[in-house]
Structure 1
Amino acid sequence: MDTQCPFCSVQCKMIVEERSTDGSPAYTVTPKPNKASEGRLCIKGMNAYQHALSGERILFPMAKVDGDFVRVSWEEAHRLIESKFAAIRRNYGNDAIGVYGGGSLTNESAYLLGKFARVALRTRYIDYNGRFCMSAAASAGNKAFGLDRGLTNPLSDIALARCIILAGTNIAECQPTLMPYFTQAKENGAFIIAIDPRRTGTTELADLHLNVKPGMDAALANGLLKVIVEQGYTDQAFIDGRTKGFKQLKEHLASMDLDHIADITGVPAGRIRQAAEAFGKASAGMVFTARGVEQQTDGYLAVRNFLNLALVTGKIGREGCGYGAITGQGNGQGGREHGQKADQLPGYRSIENEADRAYIAGVWGIDAGNLPGKGVSAYEMMEKVHGEEIRALFVMGSNPVVSNPNADFVEAGLRKLDFLVVADMFLSETARMADLILPTTSYLENEGTLTNLEGRVLLREAGRQAPGEAKHDWQILSEIAAWLGKASFFPYTAAEQVFEELRIASRGGIADYYGITYERLRREEGVYWPCPAPAHPGERRMFEQSFAHPDGKAELIAVNHHFPKEQVSEYYPLHLTTGRVLTHYLTGVQTRRSHTLAARQFESYLEIHPATAKKHRIEDAALIRLESRRGSIVVRSKLTSDIREDTVFVPMHWGGIQNVNKVTNEALDPTCKMPGFKVCAVQVKPLLEYD
């Protein structure tokens, strides 16, 4: 099976070979040379086949009858959907049905999900779990540059950088096959700065670790900018010729006090100066951000401030220079380009732009007036579910009861639904709540394209027949649309047909895939977007001559210090931050079905500094209760000096009583609607207390 890893945004290629040993199948996984991971695989990729071959796969449609799931035929499933959706639309209107997608869906599935919502259901309410992954960086890139692509330059440029800022990203655990790029850069003399409240495998590589207080990244970036501007490390020619807004930014920085910034961020002024000098003086440099910076209630502005760093020093649009948002999900890039976001149409078009609406309506063969308007973000959809404005929900490729903040509220809302349909491979925490489950295919069986963190479109071939009665996402959507009377709009018989329509729908848009075909992808092993014509090579390095705004200039912005929405108190004295671990992915639905991965990390845990643990009478490896204003969980303690004394850390991959999102804050970034996952106020205490 010639395939690629279904997990992170590197999308490493591999070959999975099945052999028979004494009558039992045995599997060998071999990394395959490719331009992104250069033939590397991490432990998740090496063992991904295990979940695809798991005996826990859902193999046929299942409907809930008297509280239990029973097998039904596809025809029965379709009739149930048709009747339930028809009744809800008749009684409450089209917008009473919501659609909830995922950032691991192929480009074809993401595109078709958006079309399904707007053409087959005619609902405005569609969004996806990528809102929790890339929305802050996407919004910041669009506003600053006029365009959002994960990396503005190819991965090969990393080795050419002389200084690299890694802000809120733990690449060593989240994208480990990228680490050699940074190791090579360091061997070439690059100075690496890591910004993280924890000491991780990534910070160990760094020459300088700035262990910032959770939620204070935007203020720290202000400190770096202040030193760079005042010490004259700016590229004035670049600023004058290719940016706007510098005067206001300079005045803003002049009003700030570096010692105050040091105090509120927890990073000494001397270390801020050292980092600023290293980046400012470097002849070439790159800035990377990830969820640590982005999953904040000021995530959009925090990223904008890190983009300011690249812009005022002229470190973008040339070799060894640029910005990268380290995408989390496998298709986090492509998944946000083609229409499963509330405000978006294919090709990164805006659903509120009349010309964009007219173009897509023409591609789809409908009247532009029949296209629904802008919906709301993922968590706001959960609020509408809880408020019973949304009465039915169709979920594909996501597990919202675990991935949303304030998860108890979300679970209570889902229980109010008149009808919940979940398309999944496994009985996830959300699928257990469903009225109807539809079995989907895995990465080994489902052909389609995905776009990696560079903006490189890749083709994943199908290497195995679908098991049982499982169907591809595009088949499920097309068949339901036919039962809803929209068959003529969904005439597909292969994933490639969907992609051919996507090419046309994206043509002329910001994310232009028109010049990309399956044949090219097979021949060239991937093509960068934008690629406006079949003869176009694809744009590897963005913004070499101009930015994507009409005037060709990037926009600088003055960013005020921001403090988390929720502050610590006597009762909730600690900051909680969340993240990932090497062996698991997202809510763990797939990786917890891999016996190798599950055995390496079979339960969640809480990292706590020994001094803090002593203060709260917590011993190592003890069960503890973690509580916030929203709820509580039970996890096992892990004492470590690798974390700040005022902060605790819990990974995000478990559900049930270990679901950390039961305690996270539902407050949203006002611009991009990213929840503030990365910081809330909590208390910790032993589950069992002894006198």
Structure 2
Amino acid sequence: MSLNKTVACPLDCYDACEAIIVNGKIRGNKEHFPTNGNLCANFISCNKEDYLKNAYFENKKISLQESLDILISKLKDIEPKNTLFYKGSGNLGVMQSSLKSFFAKYGSILTKGSLCDGGGGHGISLNRQEVINPPIEKLQKADVIIVWGRNFSVTSSHLYELVKDKTFITIDPIKTHIAKNSELHLSLNPKTDYELALLLTRFAYMQDLEDEDFCSKFNSSEDFFELAKSRSVLSYEEATGVSLEDVNRFFEIIENKKVALVLGLGVQKYYEGANITRCIDSFAAFLGLHNDKKHSGVWYLSNSKYGYESQFESNTLNKKEKVTEVDFSKYDLVFIQGANPVVSSPNTQRVIDGLKNTFVVFMGTTYNDTCKYANLIIPSCSFLQKSDVRLSYGHQYKAISNKVQEVNENSISEYDLTKYLFDSFSFDGLKDEDKILEYYINKKVEPYVFDNFEFIDDIEINHLYEEKLDNEFYFITAKKKKNLNSSFKIDNYLYLNPKTGFKNEDNVTLTSKYGKANFIVKLTEDVKENCVLCYAGNKNANYITPYFSDESSSSAMYQEVLVSIDLS
């Protein structure tokens, strides 16, 4: 291991922290502002991963070269239109996009949409063109931070450390860690976030908290307010489950304070997720949170590539399939990079059935659930064995990752595999690795300032509470400390409120109209009585989720689900 070099955490989280190698050990880099010398639990777990050390073909160890020969042979024998390239977010370094450039040029089918933030991002872009967060220093200047549908202290532990002395208000059906550390917790019913946003807009107007300067600049605010007052206050209270007393308390806390809103993924895991998010962002704008002279802005998953030009060619003519609706069995070959769709994609049984009926090539750093269905496994070298740049969707700072270990002879980096494939097919257009890295390292990006805001003025929502039967529950997913998506310490329990009548360690079957799965119960007061909770990575959770896409962004809608529970 080299000395005194930085490495960047490759994981899919807001913080994108950076470490430094000191005397052969990995330490948090004090010179990287968000990291501030600390390493989070996920980065520590990443360093302890049992990385793949061998390639496999039909469950038998083979050499790396043999695996490459098999891949080339397959790709040359199959029509490109009968292949699918499926990329996950196991590593978010910019160099990880290199492989997509090969498969695009080769002619594979690609995917579109998102399993994560797509709906919410689309909604925000309709309001303000780009999904860009303000500089993190503005969050530090807030007096009050509203955390809406995001377990901020868990999913953004580094950023939380920078602002943990602030006053927090949490809006979430679940009593999350950040909710327990908040001045006020509004425990709303699932999928009523837009209704709460409209109710809060009504109260903001009644209490003269509308930002007239901002709203007059973008005159669509009047139509938004008409939307907010199209229903009675009492109907909003009944739908959301949030009392008017708590709404008044909300405004007592924020009045005459500098306010920020930190928005999470929970609000947009629905069919109309884009418009739900857009409605919340419009409320924030009505209140003036985007006016940086008064407040501290709205945070979501920012477009980390804003201001950068892609350094990899991409054929825009490639046919694309919605990532939530992929039928793997349609293809003769599926190449999966850094993903675990067997656990992370909606409707697990459909995913498994599809993978069983195609030739699966998996490239990644660790053996995961999807590898069980892979015909060919190509080991990717660890983040310590390749150079990369990590751009953040949580803040404006980039993290630089240097190669500090020699590559295992039986593994290969994504860029080196891309180059090997380009050479094997006599393709051109792949830039030199050092030049690509140099571009991302040296590129300076100017802060984004939006000069237009389009308030939402109409919204139609299929209300789950109108469909819900007395014996049914809302299905909720959330992040948990010490695990990230389908990695590290996975929690497979089903969490229920004690008032549901079930007992700890009960074996139950959860049934939705999309499937069923078995769970062991764990009771907690943190879950509302009308909800069930599974943490991200739960191996059974996605047997009951829909593989259909949301209404506008080709993205997943994991919580558009009502379930019944029976003892197994």
- Structures share a fold, TM > 0.5? yes
Structure 2 counterparts to residues 221-236 of structure 1, below 5 A? 221-236=197-212
- Tell me how far apart the structure 1 counterparts of residues 530 and 240 of structure 2 sit (CA, whole Å): 12
- Residue 158 of structure 1 is matched in structure 2 by 139
Q: Which residue, 108, 113, 116 being the options, matches 1:123?
A: 108
Q: Does 1:30 align with 2:13?
A: no
Q: Which residue, 551, 554, 559 being the options, matches 1:670?
A: 551
1:442-469 Cα deviation digits (max 9, x unpaired): 2222210111211322211222122241
What is the CA distance between 1:482 and its match in structure 2? 2.2
- Residue 508 of structure 2 is matched in structure 1 by 624
Equivalent residue letter for 1:391: D
- Residue 522 of structure 2 is matched in structure 1 by 638
- Tell me how far apart the structure 1 counterparts of residues 416 and 399 of structure 2 sit (CA, whole Å): 21
Q: CA 1:211/1:325 → structure 2, altered by over 3 Å: closer, same or farther?
A: same
What is the CA distance between 1:182 and its match in structure 2? 3.3
- Residue 83 of structure 2 is matched in structure 1 by 97
Which of structures 1 and 2 has the larger relative contact order (alpha carbons within 8 angstroms, sep 6+)?
Answer: 2
Structure 2 counterparts to residues 218-617 of structure 1, below 5 A? 218-241=194-217, 243-276=218-251, 278-279=253-254, 281-316=255-290, 318=292, 320-326=295-301, 333-334=303-304, 347=309, 364=313, 371-373=316-318, 375-380=320-325, 382-383=326-327, 385-386=328-329, 388=330, 390-417=331-358, 419-452=359-392, 453-486=394-427, 488-490=428-430, 492=432, 494=433, 496-499=434-437, 503=439, 517-518=440-441, 520=442, 531=445, 538-539=446-447, 542-543=448-449, 547=450, 552-560=451-459, 562-563=461-462, 569-570=468-469, 573-588=472-487, 591=488, 598=489, 603-612=491-500, 614=501
1:591-643 Cα deviation digits (max 9, x unpaired): 2xxxxxx4xxx64211111110x2xxx22133333232233333322111111
Q: Does the CA-based 8 Å contact 1:315-1:321 persist in structure 2?
A: yes
In the alignment, structure 2 segments of 5+ residues that lack a partner are none
SS of alignment partner, residue 649 of structure 1: strand
Q: Does the CA-based 8 Å contact 1:100-1:127 persist in structure 2?
A: no
What is the CA distance between 1:317 and its match in structure 2? 5.1
Q: How many equivalent residue pairs?
A: 560
- Tell me how far apart the structure 2 counterparts of residues 77 and 228 of structure 1 sit (CA, whole Å): 62
What is the CA distance between 1:324 and its match in structure 2? 0.6
Equivalent residue letter for 1:628: S
- Tell me how far apart the structure 2 counterparts of residues 322 and 428 of structure 1 sit (CA, whole Å): 39
- Tell me how far apart the structure 1 counterparts of residues 301 and 9 of structure 2 sit (CA, whole Å): 17
Equivalent residue letter for 1:393: V
- Tell me how far apart the structure 1 counterparts of residues 48 and 22 of structure 2 sit (CA, whole Å): 12
So what's the TM-score if we normalise by structure 1? Answer: 0.75
In the alignment, structure 1 segments of 5+ residues that lack a partner are 20-27, 187-191, 328-332, 339-345, 349-359, 504-516, 521-526, 532-537, 592-597
Q: Does 1:647 align with 2:531?
A: yes
- Tell me how far apart the structure 1 counterparts of residues 27 and 178 of structure 2 sit (CA, whole Å): 26
- Tell me how far apart the structure 1 counterparts of residues 172 and 323 of structure 2 sit (CA, whole Å): 27
What is the CA distance between 1:439 and its match in structure 2? 0.5
CA RMSD of aligned residues (A): 2.7
So what's the TM-score if we normalise by structure 2? Answer: 0.91
Q: Does the CA-based 8 Å contact 2:16-2:398 persist in structure 1?
A: no
- Tell me how far apart the structure 2 counterparts of residues 392 and 567 of structure 1 sit (CA, whole Å): 43
Equivalent residue letter for 1:639: L
* Aligned residues with identical type, % of pairs: 18
- Tell me how far apart the structure 1 counterparts of residues 378 and 421 of structure 2 sit (CA, whole Å): 11
1:515-556 Cα deviation digits (max 9, x unpaired): xx53x4xxxxxx7x6x2xxxxxx42xx42xxx1xxxx31111
What is the CA distance between 1:110 and its match in structure 2? 4.0
What is the CA distance between 1:196 and its match in structure 2? 0.8
Q: Does 1:172 align with 2:153?
A: yes
SS of alignment partner, residue 71 of structure 1: strand
Q: Does the CA-based 8 Å contact 1:163-1:282 persist in structure 2?
A: no
- Tell me how far apart the structure 1 counterparts of residues 463 and 115 of structure 2 sit (CA, whole Å): 17
Q: CA 1:75/1:159 → structure 2, altered by over 3 Å: closer, same or farther?
A: closer
- Tell me how far apart the structure 2 counterparts of residues 260 and 322 of structure 1 sit (CA, whole Å): 29
1:360-400 Cα deviation digits (max 9, x unpaired): 9xx85x9xxx74156233113x14x34x2x33211111111
